[in-house]
Structure 1
Amino acid sequence: MGSDPQYIKYPDLTLAQHVFNLSNPACPQAVRQTSLKKLQDVISENKMAPFYRHLAHPVEGILNHSGEGVPQLPAKSLLTSNMLASRKSPQKIDFPWDESLYQSLVEDNRKELDAFQKEEDEAEEAAGETEVLAARGKRAEFWARVGDKDKAIESHEALLEKTTFLGTKIDLMLAMVRIGLFFGDTQFVKKSIERANTFIESGGDWDRRNRLKAYKGLHLVTVRSYNIAAPLLLDSLSTFTSYELCSYSSLVIYSILAGSLSLKRVDFKAKVVDAPEIKAILGPGEDRLAALTGEVSSGPGAQDEEMKDASVSRTTPATATTVVNLTTLGAGSGIPAETETPVDFSPLGNLVDSLYTGNYRSFFVALAAVEDNFLNQDRYLHEHRAWFVREMRLRAYQQLLQSYRVVGLNSMASDFGVTVDYLDRDLAKFIASNRIACTIDRVNGIIETNRPDDKNKQYADVVKHGDALITKLQKYGQAVRLRGSERS
Structure 2
Amino acid sequence: MPETSEPPKLYPDLELAADIHRALCGDGDAKEIKAALVENNAFKMWDSVAEMGLKLGSKSKDLEKKAGEEIKELDEKLAAAKESGGETEIQEIQFSKANVLAKHGDFEASNAIYAEIKAEKKVSSGKKIEAGFGEARNMLFANLGIGKLMEEVAEYCKLGGDWDKRNRHATYLSLHNLRDREIEKAADSMKAGVKTFNAEEVISFKEFCKLCTIASIVTASRSSLKKDIIDCPEVKAQLGNDPEGEIVLQVARDLYDGTYDGYMRGIVKLTNVMERDIYLKTHSNYIVRELVVRGYEQFLRSYQSVTLANMSEAFGVSKEHIDSTLSRFISANRLDVKIDKVNGVVERTERGTRGKGYEGIVKEGDKVLNKMARLSRVVDV
Per the normalisation by structure 2, the TM-score is: 0.88
Match in the other structure for 2:11: 10
Deviation for aligned residue 1:13 = 0.5
Name whichever structure is richer in helix by fraction.
2
Match of 1:169 among 123, 128, 147: 128
Q: Please tell me whether the aligned partners of residues 218 and 233 of structure 1 are also in contact (alpha carbons under 8 angstroms).
A: no
User: What is the one-letter code of the residue matched to 1:180?
Assistant: M
Is 166-175 or 154-163 further displaced after alignment?
A: 154-163
Matched, 1:350 2:308: no
Q: Please tell me whether the aligned partners of residues 172 and 202 of structure 2 are also in contact (alpha carbons under 8 angstroms).
A: yes
Q: Distance in 1 between matches of 2:24 and 2:317?
A: 33
Q: Please tell me whether the aligned partners of residues 8 and 171 of structure 1 are also in contact (alpha carbons under 8 angstroms).
A: no
Match of 2:113 among 143, 155, 164: 155
Match in the other structure for 1:111: 69
Q: Distance in 2 between matches of 1:159 and 1:258?
A: 35
Match in the other structure for 1:267: 224
Deviation for aligned residue 1:199 = 0.9
Match in the other structure for 1:62: 52
Q: Distance in 2 between matches of 1:5 and 1:177?
A: 23
Q: Distance in 1 between matches of 2:31 and 2:355?
A: 63
Q: Distance in 2 between matches of 1:456 and 1:410?
A: 28
Deviation for aligned residue 1:465 = 9.7
Match of 1:52 among 46, 50, 61: 46
Match in the other structure for 2:57: 96
What does 1:254-403 align with in structure 2 at a 5 Å threshold?
254-281=211-238, 324=241, 342-372=242-272, 374-403=273-302
Match in the other structure for 1:407: 306
- CA distance 1:213–1:458, change in 2 (3 Å): same
Deviation for aligned residue 1:229 = 1.0
Deviation for aligned residue 1:457 = 4.5
Q: What SS does the aligned partner of 1:97 have?
A: coil
Deviation for aligned residue 1:459 = 4.1
Q: Please tell me whether the aligned partners of residues 47 and 109 of structure 1 are also in contact (alpha carbons under 8 angstroms).
A: yes
Deviations 1:179-238 (A, max 9, x none): 11111112xx11211111111122311111111111122221222212111121112211
Q: What SS does the aligned partner of 1:185 have?
A: coil
Q: What percent identity do the matched residue pairs reach?
A: 27
Q: Distance in 2 between matches of 1:460 and 1:223?
A: 27
- CA distance 1:279–1:126, change in 2 (3 Å): closer
Matched, 1:241 2:235: no
Match of 1:250 among 207, 232, 251: 207
User: What is the one-letter code of the residue matched to 1:169?
Assistant: K
Deviation for aligned residue 1:126 = 1.7
Match in the other structure for 1:71: none
Deviation for aligned residue 1:369 = 1.6
Deviations 1:434-471 (A, max 9, x none): 0101111110110111133756644466569989x99x
User: What is the one-letter code of the residue matched to 1:367?
Assistant: I
Q: Distance in 1 between matches of 2:139 and 2:188?
A: 23
Q: Please tell me whether the aligned partners of residues 213 and 249 of structure 2 are also in contact (alpha carbons under 8 angstroms).
A: no
Q: Distance in 1 between matches of 2:58 and 2:212?
A: 39
Q: What SS does the aligned partner of 1:268 have?
A: helix
Deviation for aligned residue 1:347 = 1.7
Deviation for aligned residue 1:39 = 1.9
- How many residues were matched structurally? 363
Match in the other structure for 1:338: none
Deviation for aligned residue 1:128 = 2.1
Q: What SS does the aligned partner of 1:345 have?
A: helix
Is 209-218 or 423-432 further displaced after alignment?
A: 209-218
Q: Please tell me whether the aligned partners of residues 5 and 167 of structure 1 are also in contact (alpha carbons under 8 angstroms).
A: no
- CA distance 1:215–1:464, change in 2 (3 Å): closer
Root-mean-square deviation (CA), in Å? 2.5
- CA distance 1:203–1:454, change in 2 (3 Å): farther
Deviation for aligned residue 1:366 = 1.4
Unmatched 5+ stretches in structure 2: 370-381
Q: What SS does the aligned partner of 1:198 have?
A: helix
Q: Distance in 1 between matches of 2:248 and 2:164?
A: 29
Matched, 1:232 2:209: no
